Amino acid sequence: MARATSQLYLDGVSVSFDGFKALNELSLTIDPGEMRAIIGPNGAGKTTMMDVITGKTRPDTGEVFFNGTIDLTGEDEAAIAELGIGRKFQKPTVFESHTVWDNLELALKAPRGPFATLFHSITDAEAARIGALLETIRLSSKRDELAANLSHGQKQWLEIGMLLAQDPKLLLVDEPAAGMTDAETAETAELLKEIAMDHCVVVVEHDMDFVRALGVKVTVLHEGSVLAEGSLDHVSADERVVEVYLGR
Amino acid sequence: MSSFLFRALDARAGIFVALMALVIVLVPAGNLLVPESSPFHVPTYAVTLMGKYLTYALLALAVDLVWGYCGILSLGHAAFFALGGYAMGMYLMRQIGTRGVYGDPILPDFMVFLNWQELPWYWYGFDMFWFAALMVLLVPGLLAFIFGWFAFRSRVTGVYLSIITQALTYALLLAFFRNDMGFGGNNGLTDFKDILGFDIQADTTRAGLFAASGLALVLCFLICRSITRSKLGKVLVAVRDAESRTRFLGYRVEHYKLFVWTLSAMMAGIAGALYVPQVGIINPGEFAPANSIEVVIWVAVGGRGTLVGAVLGAVLVNFAKTWFTAALPEFWLFALGGPVRLRHTLPAQGHSGPYRERPIDVWQQIGLRPG
Ligand SMILES: Nc1ncnc2c1ncn2[C@@H]1O[C@H](COP(=O)(O)OP(=O)(O)OP(=O)(O)O)[C@@H](O)[C@H]1O
Ligand SMILES: [Mg+2]
């Protein structure tokens, strides 16, 4: 069925923490090349869903498949990253005591073993790629700055740059616009749309203007399962969705 | 590969290496070539004392590599140091031959004393220097590898890891105290006669051991520096600062930790092997948990994550300690307060027997205090 042709396939995934069901029979299919926005109130399970996909949390039940055939539930974080799933965290996490450049170099797609990195010298192609990424995320002038000294918005962008540097097939982006000004938010939406042209992207975001700017199919999560799915106009017309958002 | 080695040498490293080269040449020269009447003469006890500091510096360097760059706070590095020391001690014991008190050509004195009839199998090969030298690297390296394999795979980190490293060194301490382990029990290994055919008491041998300690320190420093300046070094710092983030980038954190951890243990082993012929004894007291904690203090004093700082910290703290213990013994306790009190009181609890004989008399042996 749908699984074979999907990029990401979740079926009946449940996760509970001390009896509390963070994910409850969650099923979701993302097609190759698709960009999907995930919304939902606080505690809906959005981040937990990403934890399950990236190997941080093991589901109690349910299936998670990548590329239609690769079972992710038995793999660890490093293996899943190597398969081509990149993640941007809700709270921006960059390597603070490294420079912007080094952050990107570490993320850059390259052999990941200790001996490969021990004898690695940066190639011209890699340097050019990092240079191009710096342009994309508008941090060229900060390349030698420690990541710790960046503003919140810049850290968000650096993390998106690191995500791109990995050149993953699927990008999981958790609240990229959190803490950004309106102008930055609009720019971030543009950037993600650009990225989505040749990547499969799943974006979690609370900011409705941002989601509207993306103009893609929206999935509403609530209490660990899918409440509604469709265009933003379609889901925001859904009574249950309105209730969930207003009822908080 | 060549770029890997050249990476180590920038200005700061250059200054350190040049200074060390000066020390390695001048100290032995001051001892062997300058007449005793000259104020520039370096007495033998000072050569040995400084040689001992250099081995401590190497141990501190090893701790800084894992702690300063990878965030692994080892409170058990003295175990690797002591194992390297025991491997060297076993070689030195077997060099004694018939010159022991009992004159047995094969068995060390303590085995004769225990009425052992033959050499245990694990003492085989230690009459050959190359074999002992190999064991100096392999024994700590293998132990660290096995320990790290389990600890890092099960993602034991932070204070939990520190505690099990303490447990490791404590377990070894208890084991080495046992006479039936075959390592001389609480007396350890001592009364060494010669090393590679040279009289271990001779000034020239002492100068040679000093120079060897200095060279080992420089070499290990360069290796550490090449590592920390490589991309691998950047991954280590990434692990230190945000371990799980590093995993999500696709790096197998446990492999990285295992690599530096094992390498670091081997360096600690080398340090121990150079320490033993200079102080003339190795006994289970070297495994005391407080010893490992002290090393961490040296690194913290010199500045974690700098390599050079670890070396300076080890030398400065130990120099201060020597000076204070000789000149103002009471004041030293204040100076190092907690750590030193810990070192002397912790082992005394519950183990009244063997610990009392801990070799604080090292000072006596190296001439700081007249016997
Ligand atoms: N490790 C954990 N242990 C216990 N409870 C957890 C854990 N992780 C998440 N939870 C709980 O699971 C629920 C879902 O959390 P999750 O972070 O997935 O929500 P979210 O949709 O990302 O919310 P937000 O919009 O606030 O980021 C929350 O109630 C949270 O408290
Ligand atoms: Mg979240």
Q: Which two tokens stand for residue A163?
A: 């995500």
pLDDT band at residue B2 using 50, 70 and 90 as cut-offs: low
- Shortest CA distance from A89: residue in chain B: B245
CA A23 to ligand 1: nearest atom: 14
Whose structure tokens read 């290990």?
B220
Would the CB atoms of A118 and B232 count as touching at under 8 Å?
yes
Q: What is the CA radius of gyration of chain B?
A: 20
CA pair distance B109, B100, nearest whole angstrom? 6
Read off the pLDDT of residues B93-148 as tens digits, 9 standing for 90 and up.
999 999 999 999 999 999 999 999 999 999 999 999 999 999 999 999 999 999 99
Contact A141, A171 (CB under 8 A): no
Q: Are B238 and A112 in contact (CB under 8 A)?
A: no
Residue-range domain boundaries for chain B = 2-338, 341-371
How large is the average pLDDT for residues B39-52?
Answer: 94
pLDDT of residue B326: 81
In terms of Cα–Cα distance, which of A141, A172, A143, A177 is closest to A157?
A177
For an interface test with A, the pick among B231, B235, B253 (most A C-beta atoms closer than 10 Å) comes out as: B231
pLDDT over 60 at B354, yes or no: no
Indicate if the pLDDT at residue B341 is higher than 90: no
| Nearest neighbour of A81 by CB, restricted to B1, B241, B249 | B249
Lowest mean pLDDT among A100-104, B230-234, B325-329: B325-329
Enumerate residues lining ligand 1, CB below 6 A.
Answer: A 17, 22, 40, 42-48, 90
Least confident of A22-26, A145-149, A185-189, B201-205: A185-189
Mean pLDDT in residue range A218-246: 91
Q: Which residue has the tokens 């063997």?
A: B354
Dihedral angle of Cα B241, B247, B250, B254, to the nearest 10 degrees: 100
Q: What share of chain B is helix, strand, coil (3-state, %, to 5)?
A: 75, 0, 25
How far off is chain B from A72, nearest CA to CA, in Å? 14
Confidence of residue A87 (pLDDT cuts 50, 70, 90): very high
d(C-alpha A89, C-alpha B242), whole Å: 12
pLDDT of residue B130: 98
| Averaged pLDDT for residues B329-354 | 49
Q: Is A27 helix (H, G, I), strand (E, B) or coil?
A: strand
* CB-nearest partner of B234 from A81, A87, A106: A106
At B353 the pLDDT is 33
Mutation site for B-interface testing, chosen from A53, A75, A112, A170 by largest number of B Cβ within 10 Å: A112
**How much is the pLDDT for B335?**
67
| pLDDT, tens only, B65-102 | 999 999 999 999 999 999 999 999 999 999 999 999 99
- The pLDDT value given to residue B343: 41
Least trusted range by pLDDT, from A8-22, A48-62, A198-212, B328-342: B328-342
Which of A79-83, B224-228, B346-350 is least confident? B346-350
To the nearest whole number, what is the mean pLDDT of chain A?
93
Q: What is the CA radius of gyration of chain A?
A: 18
CA angle (A194, A197, A198) in 5-degree steps: 120
For residue A55, what pLDDT is reported? 95
Question: What pTM does this model have?
Answer: 0.89
